[in-house]
A = this chain, B = another copy of it.
Amino acid sequence: MNRLNSAYGQLATTFAHLGHLGAAESTLFWDGRTKMPPGGSASRGKVMAALTSVIAEKMADPSLADLLDRAETEEAQQLNEWEAANLREMRRRWRHETAIPPPLAAELAERVALSQKAWERARRDSDFAAFAEPLGAVLSLQLEAARIKGDALGMAPYDAMMDAHEPGLTTEFVDQLFGDLAQFLPELLERIMARQAAETAPLPLPGPFPEAAQFALSEKLAAMIGYDFEHGRIDLTAHPFASGAPGDVRITTRFYDDDPVAGVMATMHETGHAMYELGLPGEWAFQPAGYARGMGLHESQSLLTEMQAGRNAAFLPVLARLLRETFGGEGEAWSDDNIRRLYRRVQPSHIRVDADEVTYPLHVILRYRIERALTDGSLEVAGIPSAWNELSRELLGIVPPNDALGCLQDIHWAMGAFGYFPSYTYGAVAAAQLFAAATRQDPEILSALGRGEFAPLLAWTRKHVHTRASLPPTSDAILRAATGASLSADAFKAHLTARYLDE
């Protein structure tokens, strides 16, 4: 359906325009975290708010709602598969972005700005009490918004919050998945810890690890994975991320003076995100159907690269060789065996973003349980610290010595981002399921990784994930088509058991 005068054609023009404005936001977000001088932040806040308001204004225009109605009622029969998906995604986005009344959205934005500032101070001082009131304000507004959105979408409030990040993800599904993991992981963890205790600990790699060398290694690894520097670039930030526009997908990474391992993995992780974005179908660029399906599936692509491929037994010797070449390493610490063990060390710790792949889901389950309790009213904001510490003891076997290392460590809640955490573990579980299917369907994938070649793996993810964009309505539909089954923890559990217990 291409006639410009059709309702669908007019919608496509409008949504392309919204996509272009979204790309401006995205590049300016990147700039704000990489290149902007610090004194630019006040201006930048206004610029970002202006872009957000232009998009919201256009989305709320009554003529857009009319066009959606007309296209759905009068033109649906004439749309091909992609166009139909595109119209469905337009409606989806419209529902999410127009559900919240503007005064509520404005109050929320204002409260979020205050709560982020309060959070920064509270974390610095490890003083949850100073954060409780601003967080409470954000939470109650966000719950009100979630109820309104849930009514509009026909979902429970928490499901409506998750749906914004990973369409179709439900509490029912997450409860089951996380219940499974919460039962399985602590016991697995105990066995892994016992086994590790019986071995000698891996030797730390001896430095120095000059930034320029780490940077060159990151570029080499990104290129090896398939990242095209004609359409991207790497910069350094405290918190790595991938961001950009069609044809221009940039990643950031970070390096530690005393540890080249973390930087390598941050780069591989963000490159995985970038490959998804760069693999989206160019002819649907800027259209709603042309975006990545969900944040959980997005995380699966980063973890597929970092965890499944990057720490795979086939690939680790390649990585070990690159590390030796880059830093001129010799001797036992630089041996394949020691480097493999360094990359697979498991250790319960307080900070989620530093966690290994065995304990990471436990951090997420902890947060999910608190979010659910806050949503159903069984937990008050003031009770977060003790609930956190109790869950940490139950799931991870450790209790944070203070709230900065506990319930104040993440910015998500301060930003009003409830319902986001499950995406991380959705991604880890999906990555295992996708990697198992890919290597089963194409055995060449593993042997290529042993030669440092990602092309067969990339060809598979391109075909089964990236190019499908948002054509299927959910990530689960993509997983079913790619792996033959809905998401379950089976592959993830098998993966962890094999990798850490050689079973």
Contacts and interface: CB of A to CB of B under 8 A. Distances in A.
Interface of A: 16-17, 20-21, 23-24, 27-28, 31, 35-40, 42-44, 46-47, 49-51, 53-54, 228-233, 244-248, 250, 285-286
Contacts of A24: 24, 28, 47, 50-51
A271 to B, nearest CB: 14
Given A230-B37, A230-B39, A245 B21 contact: no
A43 B229 contact: no
A399 to B, nearest CB: 41
Contact of A35 (B16, B20, B233): B233
A172 to B, nearest CB: 39
A244 B40 CA distance: 9
A37 B245 contact: no
Nearest to A50: B20
B248 A36 contact: yes
B49 A20 contact: yes
B286 A40 contact: no
A248 B47 CA distance: 12
Given A42-B247, A247-B42, A47 B35 contact: no
Given A37-B250, A39-B248, A47-B245, 16 more contacts: A17-B50, A17-B53, A21-B51, A23-B43, A24-B24, A27-B28, A27-B31, A35-B233, A36-B248, A37-B230, A37-B233, A39-B228, A39-B232, A40-B245, A42-B247, A43-B247
21 contacts: A20-B47, A21-B47, A21-B50, A23-B46, A23-B47, A27-B28, A27-B47, A28-B28, A36-B248, A37-B229, A37-B231, A39-B228, A39-B230, A39-B232, A39-B248, A40-B231, A40-B244, A40-B248, A43-B245, A43-B285, A54-B54
